[in-house]
Amino acid sequence: MTELLKQLSALDGVSGYEAEVRDAIRKQIAPHCDALRTDPVGNLIAFKKGAQRRKKPLVVCSHMDEAGFLVKSVTADGLIKMAPVGKIEPQVIVGRQMRVGPKKLPGVISLKAIHLTKPEERKEPPALTGLYVDIGSTSKAQTEALTGVGDPIAFGSGCAELGEGHLKGKALNGRAGCAVMVKMLAQPHPFDTWYVFSAGREIANGVKAAISSIAPGTCLLLDGVHAADLPGVPEEGRASRLGHGPAVVMVDGALTCAAALRQAVTAAADKAGIPWQLCGCEEPASDAGIIRGAGSGVEVFRLGCPTRYIRTAASVINLADLAALYELSMLFCREVNYEN
Amino acid sequence: MNFTEQVIHLTNMHGISGDEYAVSEAARALLAPFVDSAEVDPFGNVIGRKSCGGPGAPTLLLDAHLDQVGFMVSGVTDEGFVRFVAISVDPRMLPGSELLVKTKNHGVLPGVVATLPPHLRPAGKKAADSYYDVAAMALDMGLPAEKAKQMIAPGDPVIFAGDTQRLQGDALCGRAMDDRACFACLLQVLELLDGRELGVDLIVLGSTREEVGLQGARDVANRENPDYAIALDVTHGKTPDSGEQVANEVAKGPVIAIGANSNPALANRVAEIARAKQIPYQLAAVGGSSGTNAWAMQTSGLGICTLVLSLPLKYMHSPVELIHTGDAENLARLVAEFIANFEGGAQS
Q: Give me the average pLDDT of each 10-residue run along chain A (340 residues).
A: 98 98 98 97 97 92 98 97 97 97 97 92 91 98 98 98 98 98 96 97 95 94 96 91 96 84 94 96 91 88 97 98 98 79
Measured distance CA(A84)–CA(A68) in Å, rounded: 6
Query: What percent of chain B shows pLDDT beyond 70?
Result: 97
What ipTM is given for this predicted complex? 0.95
Tell me whether residues A314 and B112 touch, CB distance under 8 A: yes
Amino acid A340: pLDDT: 56
- The pLDDT confidence band at residue B158, using thresholds 50, 70 and 90, is very high
Q: Which of B184, B198, B185, B270 is nearest to B50 (CA)?
A: B198
Other C-beta atoms closer than 10 Å to the C-beta of A141 total 11
Whether the per-residue pLDDT at B128 is higher than 60: the answer is no
List the single residue in B138, B168, B240 with the smallest CB-CB distance to A137: B168
Amino acid B348: pLDDT: 43
* A vs B: CB pairs below 8 A: 204
Burial string for A123-137 (b: 16+ CB within 10 Å, else e) reads bebbebeebbbbbbb
Amino acid A255: pLDDT: 78
CA A246 to chain centre: 15
Whether the per-residue pLDDT at B346 is higher than 70: the answer is no
Whether the per-residue pLDDT at B270 is higher than 80: the answer is yes
Please list every residue in chain B whose beta carbon sits closer than 8 Å to the beta carbon of residue A98. Answer: none
Measured distance CA(A8)–CA(A174) in Å, rounded: 10
Pairing state between β B98-102 and B157-160:
antiparallel
Tell me whether residues A97 and B165 touch, CB distance under 8 A: yes
Amino acid B125: pLDDT: 60
Please list every residue in chain B whose beta carbon sits closer than 8 Å to the beta carbon of residue A307. Answer: none
Tell me whether residues A136 and B127 touch, CB distance under 8 A: no
List the single residue in B114, B132, B160 with the smallest CB-CB distance to A309: B114
Beta-ladder partners of B173: B165, B322
Residue type, B215: Q
Chain B nearest-CA distance from A332, in A, is: 29
Q: Higher-confidence residue: B254 or A281?
A: B254
Whether the per-residue pLDDT at B347 is higher than 60: the answer is no
Measured distance CA(B159)–CA(B152) in Å, rounded: 14
Amino acid B124: pLDDT: 62
Whether the per-residue pLDDT at B219 is higher than 80: the answer is yes
Nearest residue of chain B to residue A160 (CA atoms): B110
Average pLDDT over residues B129-145: 89
Chain B nearest-CA distance from A338, in A, is: 32
CA A22 to chain centre: 13
List the single residue in B160, B169, B240 with the smallest CB-CB distance to A136: B169
